[in-house]
Amino acid sequence: MNISSIKKNDPRLAALVKAEETRQRTGLELIPSENYVSRAVLEALGTVFTNKYSEGYPGKRYYGGQVNTDAVEKIAIGRAKKIFHCDHANVQPYSGAPANLATYFAWMEPGDTIIGMELSHGGHLTHGDPRTAAAKVFNFIRYGIKNIETGEIDYEHLYDLAIKHKPKMILAGFSAYPRELDYKKFVDIAKEVGAVTIADIAHIAGLIAGKALKNPFDAGFHICTSTTHKTLRGPRGGLILSNGIVSNPLKPIDKKIENLPTLIDRSVFPGIQGGPHINVILAKAVAFSEALQPEFRIYASQVVKNAKRLAKKLMEKGFKLVTNGTDNHLLLVDMITSFNVSGGEAEKLYDSLGLTLNKNMIPNDSRKPYDPSGIRLGTPAITTRGMKEKDMDHIAGWMYDGIVHKKDEKYLNVLKEEIIEYCMQFSLPSDNKS
Ligand code: DSN
């Protein structure tokens, strides 16, 4: 991208932009929550919409001069509803954490109970970690995995918890779980206790958009929260979608549910946010249009094919994968069981080779979060660069060689050069001016 003005006015920062671009180009981005956006998305982020305040919603703003912002936000909303087949979309959340917080406040009163997935079993910090603001206000109860070898969720335990605690909301979704969820089971349990269902689809939104994974709304979920920058390949931002008001095949559980869109909108603004970032909403609209194209389905299906191939090849080389495989874009590896190397040590070693991934807790981890037993990696970004199954075989090989030769600096330097050379064959989507 052209950054000539930054270069002229602030060369130190321009050098950092350039260095980051080089890092992204010469390495393998394996963090499963990251991706490379298109040039159009990057351009949208840098438009004059960044200058504009527009508190409120289209047609009902608290500032003048909204003729263009209203049009942009309406387009983004329309495209989001079309992608996810739902009645309502709020495109204003700044990111995933505010989207979740706003959703909790939309439906619950302080002290109310919500059931979500245990952090170390794959849930997210915002699903009730005691250090978060939400956990100080609401009563979070956790469910987890029953069988760590298959990844099967303990639905019986979830049912028992629901009957015992009578939650207002039941939350499905994860940031480190490699399997598909049985959304219908969540809906059935929630119906028994009159709870509203939310799926945090931040990680898999692009895979749902591209029809590679199931859409929770098809099973009768009421709400999906998401980020827009992971598999969905848009700008950093959040999204709240809701359904059940018009077209949900299940009967509304409560009169109040019909009001869900209004409750969500009010909870985002003025509830927890101020003015929306309209340049980001423009970029979301651009990304949503890309996700509606037929090529995006090919992308989503290739992400999953690549993840399955990488899982297979790593397992063949002795990497112990939590749940022994993957159904989605991510892999969780127990590095202590595999090679007696901690997640922190592995992250550092791979970083030095240009393989970017992250240390991660594994279910029932006996180690601390800052240096846990596992690593988490995934295929969304490398698939965007055009990598296919055969490339996964190389990556598995490099990951194995890196561990085996972890004390051999000379070997690692040669490996690093090989990875750089390999990556240079694959352009970044932002290179493409068409
Ligand atoms: N930080 C994101 C992830 O990496 O999964 C979730 O918020």
Here the CATH number for the domain that contains residue 154 is: 3.40.640.10
pLDDT tens readout for residues 84-108: 999 999 999 999 999 999 999 999 9
pLDDT at 319: 98
Question: Is the Cβ–Cβ distance between 322 and 333 less than 8 Å?
Answer: yes
Question: Is the Cβ–Cβ distance between 347 and 319 less than 8 Å?
Answer: no
Asked if residue 278 and residue 342 are part of one domain, the reply reads no
Give strand pairing partners of 29.
356
pLDDT at 244: 65
Question: Quick one: tokens of 220?
Answer: 């009768």
Task: Provide the CA 210 distance to its chain's centre, in angstroms.
Answer: 14
Question: At which of 275, 291, 307 does a domain end?
Answer: 291
Question: At which of 291, 325, 349 does a domain end?
Answer: 291
Whether 434 maps to a domain, the answer reads no
Angle at 80 between CA 75 and CA 81, to 5 degrees: 100
Write down the mean pLDDT value for the chain: 95
Question: Quick one: tokens of 212?
Answer: 């590679």
Range of the domain at 210: 44-291
- Taking CA atoms, 322 is separated from 39, 173, 239, 369, in Å, by 36, 17, 29, 17
Asked if residue 311 and residue 286 are part of one domain, the reply reads no
Asked if residue 60 and residue 148 are part of one domain, the reply reads yes
Asked if residue 227 and residue 129 are part of one domain, the reply reads yes
Whether 12 maps to a domain, the answer reads no
Answer yes or no: is 123 a known binding residue.
yes
For residue 216, report the phi and psi dihedrals to the nearest 5 degrees: -55, -30
Asked if residue 358 and residue 228 are part of one domain, the reply reads no
Distance (angstroms) between ligand 1 centre and the Cα of 95 equals 11
Asked if residue 307 and residue 272 are part of one domain, the reply reads no
Nearest to residue 304, comparing CAs of 325, 318, 286? 325
Asked if residue 342 and residue 238 are part of one domain, the reply reads no
Whether 313 maps to a domain, the answer reads yes
393 CB contacts (<8 Å, ≥6 apart)?
Answer: 309, 313
Q: The domain spanning residue 389 has which CATH number?
A: 3.90.1150.10
Q: What is the number of domains present in the chain?
A: 2
Pocket test for ligand 1, best of 127, 201, 203 (most atoms within 8 A of CB): 203
Task: Determine the Cα–Cα distance for residues 433 and 11; give it in Å rounded to an integer.
Answer: 25
Question: At which of 291, 309, 328 does a domain end?
Answer: 291
Whether 30 maps to a domain, the answer reads no
Ligand 1: nearest atom to the Cα of 227? 7
Question: Quick one: tokens of 416?
Answer: 């690093």
**Ligand 1: residue whose CA is nearest its atom 6:** 175
**Ligand 1: residue whose CA is nearest its atom 4:** 33
Instruction: Give exposure, 390-401, as e/b (b: 16+ Cβ within 10 Å).
Output: ebbeebbebbbb
Ligand 1 surroundings by CB, under 6 angstroms? 33, 96, 124, 175
Whether 63 maps to a domain, the answer reads yes
> DSSP H helical segments within 194-251, as ranges?
205-209
Task: Provide the CA 378 distance to its chain's centre, in angstroms.
Answer: 11
Nearest to residue 379, comparing CAs of 31, 60, 114, 82? 31
Answer yes or no: is 119 a known binding residue.
yes
Name the pTM for this structure: 0.96
Asked if residue 118 and residue 205 are part of one domain, the reply reads yes
Asked if residue 328 and residue 236 are part of one domain, the reply reads no
Nearest to residue 236, comparing CAs of 70, 41, 68, 78? 41
Asked if residue 332 and residue 227 are part of one domain, the reply reads no
For residue 81, report the phi and psi dihedrals to the nearest 5 degrees: -65, -35
Whether 430 maps to a domain, the answer reads no
Task: Determine the Cα–Cα distance for residues 4 and 161; give it in Å rounded to an integer.
Answer: 58
pLDDT tens readout for residues 265-305: 999 999 999 999 999 999 999 999 999 999 999 999 999 99
Mean pLDDT of 209-214: 98
Whether 4 maps to a domain, the answer reads no
Question: Quick one: tokens of 165?
Answer: 């605690």
Q: Which residues are catalytic?
A: 53, 55, 200, 227, 230, 236
Asked if residue 343 and residue 279 are part of one domain, the reply reads no
Tell me whether the omega of the peptide bond preceding residue 429 falls within 30 degrees of 0, making it cis.
no
Whether 284 maps to a domain, the answer reads yes
**Ligand 1: residue whose CA is nearest its atom 1:** 33
Asked if residue 105 and residue 164 are part of one domain, the reply reads yes
pLDDT tens readout for residues 302-340: 999 999 999 999 999 999 999 999 999 999 999 999 999
